[in-house]
């Protein structure tokens, strides 16, 4: 999810829990979140290295790039703890900082554990209270909606 950046992770968490059970579903969801953040971090870092650096000279971006590694480390943890901050935004922002990949992984993991735990608690409550047929139908409907929106945007951008 971290590499894609726009697909709501609670959908996959609910699918994991309802298909694989609570324990394996939680392990898979947390592992996927962490792996996605790692892949996203390196993809963003690579992508930003290929972009025209003119926009990076603005004061805000200079401040981010000049931040200490310690400050970035704690900022990643804190931003990961806030449930409604998009994960892709945190990952992209971290990719612009001087933080090494290993420290990013540690900070992201520390921050994601409580966030994923909260997500699992909410999703598990829903999974237990809603019939599985409705869950799968809702998942398919949302997935197809994202697919249609993506296809329309791709076709519009290719014209």
Mean per-residue pLDDT over the chain, rounded: 85
Taking the domains of the chain in order of start, what are their residue ranges? Answer: 9-130
- CB neighbour class for 105 (10 Å; exposed up to 12, middle 13-18, buried from 19): middle
Burial class (CB in 10 A: 0-12, 13-18, 19+), 20: middle
Contact criterion met (CB below 8 Å) for 76 and 34: no
- Model confidence band, residue 4 (pLDDT cutoffs 50, 70, 90): low
For the chain, give the percent of residues with pLDDT over 90: 33
Is 2 in contact with 79 (CB distance < 8 Å)?
no
**What is the structure's pLDDT at 91?**
93
**What SS3 string covers 62-110?**
HHHHHCCHHHHHHHHHHHHHCCCCCHHHHHHHHHCCCCCHHHHHHHHHH
Q: Is the confidence at residue 10, as pLDDT, over 70? A: yes
Split at pLDDT 50, 70, 90, the class of 6 is low
Please tell me the predicted confidence (pLDDT) of residue 154.
83
Q: Where does the pLDDT of residue 123 fall: very low under 50, low under 70, confident under 90, or very high at 90 and above?
A: confident
3-state secondary structure (DSSP) of residue 58: coil
**Mean pLDDT, rounded, for 39-56:** 85
pLDDT value of residue 66: 84
User: Tell me, what's the pLDDT at 7?
Assistant: 63
What digits encode the pLDDT tens for the residues 60-107? 878 888 889 999 999 999 999 886 788 888 999 899 899 999 999 999
Nearest to 42 by CA among 82, 79, 2: 2
- Return d(Cα 40, Cα 6) in angstroms, integer: 12
111 pLDDT tier (thresholds 50, 70, 90): very high
């Amino acid at each position: 999810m971290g590499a894609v950046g726009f697909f709501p992770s609670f959908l996959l968490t609910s699918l994991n829990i309802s298909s694989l059970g609570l324990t394996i579903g939680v392990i898979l969801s947390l592992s996927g979140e962490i792996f996605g953040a790692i892949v996203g971090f390196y993809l963003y870092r690579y992508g930003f290295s290929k972009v025209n650096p003119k926009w990076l000279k603005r004061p805000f971006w200079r401040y981010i790039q000049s931040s200490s590694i310690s400050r970035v480390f704690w900022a990643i943890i804190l931003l990961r703890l806030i449930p409604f901050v998009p994960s892709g935004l945190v990952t992209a922002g971290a990719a612009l900082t001087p933080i090494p990949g290993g420290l990013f992984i540690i900070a992201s993991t520390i921050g994601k554990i409580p966030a994923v735990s909260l997500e699992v608690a909410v999703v598990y409550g829903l999974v237990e209270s809603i019939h599985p047929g409705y869950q799968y139908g809702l998942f398919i409907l949302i997935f197809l909606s994202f697919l249609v929106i993506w296809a329309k945007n791709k076709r519009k951008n290719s014209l």
